[in-house]
Amino acid sequence: MKVRYWGVRGSIPVAAPDTARYGGNSSCVEIDDGVCPVVLDCGTGARALGRDLVLRHVKEVVVLLSHYHMDHLYGFPYFGPIFTPNCRVTVAAPGVSAVDVKNRLGRYMNGRYHPIRIDDVAEEIELVGMRPGGRATLGKATVTAASLSHPGGCLGYRVEFDGRSVAYLTDTGPLSPPHQGLSAGLPASGAEKRVLELVKGVDLLVMDTMFSFEEYLTKMTWGHCHPGYAIRLAEAAGAKRLGLFHHAPDASDEALDQLAVQWCDHPTIDVHMAQEGKVVDLEG
Ligand SMILES: [Zn+2]
Ligand SMILES: [Zn+2]
């Protein structure tokens, strides 16, 4: 099973020479089992992924949306499989029911903010409402959700299939304040215990690390994390690999290279910087 990054940027896509190497598309990650891929978020990276899935003649796709902020949703109406006959698409997103998810997607896809209305595609796709603590079998995958720390709410997901597992935690701030819980090197708080359960022993944790620790201290309510906390969480959960993800729009390739030097040499966890086009092989 392979994981491929199609969009790694947070908050807003960027297009500039100094961000071209890590990539400027916003959040979109593919877990590919060769039969029924799972797509994590539909930021602008979902356009190229959708085209690739159509060219690969994929017959079934599962899409998991973490929340409804536009950097995670903008690419959804450009995601080719939703317009492709004979491709079954299931979209699971925060909500109490399928109707609730449809209504939330419809606030963007309503003919005013986007020319394609959710009603134009709703009959072609299956919508599923996900709640914190919820568990569902979607395609070939078992998906579990937990609540993260982000304005407006956000779900983290654990995706398991074929004996492999991936946890996707974006967008989220640390789940404990600086002087408590894992943030302070102390036992996990209640919220951290729930997330640790989600991440326990995963082959790969993909986590929001948009801020440095110093930036986090000045923007603690913004709901974004920093690499030091992500590594602590990954260590506590026994994750095998960690992808630092949801890069700041202002982070240049050079700045991200420096973060790689600072954080990616870890004795027990295989840490990498998420980069558009990068493939992580979970079989290795
Ligand atoms: Zn985001
Ligand atoms: Zn967000």
- Domain boundaries defined on the chain: 2-281
pLDDT over threshold 90, residue 162: no
Distance 70 CA to ligand 2 centre (A): 8
Report the separation in Å between the CA atom of 60 and the middle of ligand 1, taken as the mean of its atom positions.
26
Mean per-residue pLDDT over the chain, rounded: 97
Instruction: Work out the pLDDT band at 102, boundaries 50, 70, 90.
Output: very high
Q: Which residues is 166 bridged to in the sheet?
A: 159, 204
Q: How far is the C-alpha of 283 from the C-alpha of 164, rounded, in Å?
A: 8
Query: In what order do the strands lie in the sheet containing 279-281?
Result: 125-130, 88-94, 60-64, 38-40, 28-32, 2-7, 279-281
DSSP per-residue letters across 39-101: EE--STHHHHHHHHHHHTT--EEEEE-----GGGTTTGGG-GGGG-TT-EEEEEEESSSHHHH
Distance 283 CA to ligand 2 centre (A): 31
E-state strands within the chain: 2-7, 28-32, 38-40, 60-64, 88-94, 125-130, 135-138, 141-147, 155-161, 164-169, 204-208, 241-245, 270-273, 279-281
CATH of 2-281, one of 4.10.410.60, 3.30.420.40, 3.60.15.10, 3.40.50.2300: 3.60.15.10
- Ligand 1 being an ion, which residues bring their Cβ within 5 A of it? 10, 71, 171
Confidence at residue 284, expressed as pLDDT on a 0 to 100 scale: 72
Q: Is pLDDT at 122 greater than 90 in this prediction?
A: no
DSSP state of 165: E
Could you tell me the pLDDT band of residue 123, with boundaries at 50, 70 and 90?
Answer: confident
- What integer is the mean pLDDT of 13-28? 98
What whole-number distance in Å separates Cα of residue 104 and Cα of residue 95? 8
Polymer length in residues for the chain: 284
For a pLDDT cut of 90, what percent of the chain falls above it? Answer: 97
Q: Against a cut of 0.75, is the pTM above it? A: yes
- Interval 229-239 mean pLDDT: 98
* Distance, CA of 104 to chain centre: 19
Res. 268: pLDDT tops 90:
yes
Which ligand is in closest contact with the Cα of 69? 2
Q: Which ligand is nearest to the CA of 13?
A: 1
CB-based contacts of 52: which residues, under 8 Å, 6+ apart? none
Among candidates 189, 191, 186, 233, which has minimal Cα distance to 208? 233
223 CA → ligand 2 middle, Å: 8
